[in-house]
């Protein structure tokens, strides 16, 4: 039985540890995470297993690699208009249309929100101009300190977390965001070096999509990749395939990018074909499905439908 066999003979490839005690502790954490991952039924394709995060406790994983600050939309947020849904394609993927940049890696910095923001704006800019440009997450990490006025402490704080709608507001107020090549990512908090003469794209407007999977799909198809929040507890052990996690709740703690959906693929936990969302993550191409996650679509699994934003991009006024 290959699926169980792979899980029963895992490779513990530890990073360098300072002491034998630390090594032994990490091996214990690794075995605990492996037990969680091996809940996948043995007769089905593997969805969870050993990842580069397998020697981290769930608390360490959340602290180092997640970073969503708020758990709800502000009441004043502009609502996206209701779109028709009857003619939606059965399968859709913005990667096939050239609107998605390569998978990036946030490293051990809680800046997921900045990658979700730039990913949505990169797609919107592609729709507006026909040009795919990689935008700077580091500018948001260093320069964006916008707060949600209705929720105390919900401020964009670099590697200590943030919120996509705050970041859209920052880009709107500041006049735009630079290209990644002009303001490269460092994975740590730094001094703001924003150069307004090098703005590559800016936000025309942004809005929130109602908690309805058909409306989310319609906005995705019409407006480009969407900034979404998710409960990411299952993502620590995700290795590929369609995941229907039963271990995660609706508490949103990670910002990602929704780039497409599929009509149906085999989901081990549900034992049948399930429609799914295609999500771009920011943990490098070595994670998941070459940096992507396929999660069951329907019933707001892991809160994926709860906090969805769409953005429109324009040339900066200097162009």
DSSP type of residue 110: B
**How far apart, in whole angstroms, are the C-alpha atoms of residue 46 and residue 240?**
7
The catalytic position among 159, 166, 244, 254 is 254
User: Is the alpha carbon torsion for 90, 251, 223, 112 positive or negative?
Assistant: negative
Active site residue 205: no
- Return the exposure string of 273-304: e unless at least 16 CB atoms fall within 10 Å of the residue's CB, then b: ebbbbbbbbbbeeebbbebbbbbbbeeebbbb
Decide: 3 and 45 in contact? Cβ < 8 Å. Answer: yes
Six token digits for residue 293: 């996650």
Active site residue 281: yes
The catalytic position among 248, 281, 296, 302 is 281
CA-nearest of 214, 264, 262, 224 to 86 is 214
Q: How many CA atoms lie within 13 A of 9 on its CB side?
A: 5
Radius of gyration of the chain (CA): 19
What DSSP string runs through 182-229? TS---SS-------GGGEEEEEEEEEEEPS-HHHHHHHHHHH-SEEEE
Decide: 198 and 155 in contact? Cβ < 8 Å. Answer: no
The catalytic position among 112, 244, 248, 302 is 112
DSSP type of residue 101: P
Q: How many CA atoms lie within 13 A of 151 on its CB side?
A: 19
The residues that are catalytic are: 112, 254, 281
């Amino acid at each position: 039985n290959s699926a169980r066999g792979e899980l029963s003979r895992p490779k513990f490839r530890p990073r360098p540890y300072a002491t034998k005690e630390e090594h032994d502790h990490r091996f214990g954490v690794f075995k605990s995470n492996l037990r969680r991952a091996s809940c996948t039924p043995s007769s089905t394709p593997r969805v969870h297993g050993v990842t580069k995060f397998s020697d981290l406790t769930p608390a360490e994983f959340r602290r180092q690699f997640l970073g969503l600050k708020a758990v709800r939309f502000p009441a004043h947020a502009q609502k996206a208009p209701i779109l028709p849904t009857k003619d939606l394609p059965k399968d859709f993927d913005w990667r096939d249309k050239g609107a998605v940049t390569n998978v990036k890696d946030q490293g051990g910095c809680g800046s997921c929100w900045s990658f979700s923001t730039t990913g949505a704006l990169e797609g919107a800019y592609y729709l507006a101009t026909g040009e795919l440009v990689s935008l700077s997450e580091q500018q948001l990490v260093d320069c964006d300190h916008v707060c949600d006025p209705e929720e105390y402490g919900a401020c964009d704080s670099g590697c200590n977390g943030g919120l996509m709608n705050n970041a859209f507001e920052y880009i709107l107020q500041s006049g735009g965001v630079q290209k990644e090549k002009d303001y490269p990512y460092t994975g740590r908090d730094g001094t703001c070096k924003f150069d307004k003469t090098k703005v590559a794209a800016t936000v025309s407007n942004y809005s929130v999509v109602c908690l309805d999977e058909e409306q989310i799909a319609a906005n995705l198809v019409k407006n480009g990749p969407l900034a979404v929040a998710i409960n990411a507890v299952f993502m620590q052990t995700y290795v590929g395939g369609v995941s229907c996690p039963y271990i995660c709740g609706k508490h949103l703690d990670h910002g990602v990018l929704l780039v497409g959906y599929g009509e149906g693929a085999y989901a081990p936990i549900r034992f049948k074909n399930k429609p799914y969302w295609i999500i771009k993550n920011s943990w490098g191409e070595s994670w998941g499905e070459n940096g992507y996650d396929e999660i069951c679509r329907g019933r707001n699994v892991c809160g994926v439908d709860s906090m969805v934003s769409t953005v429109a991009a324009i040339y900066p006024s200097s162009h």
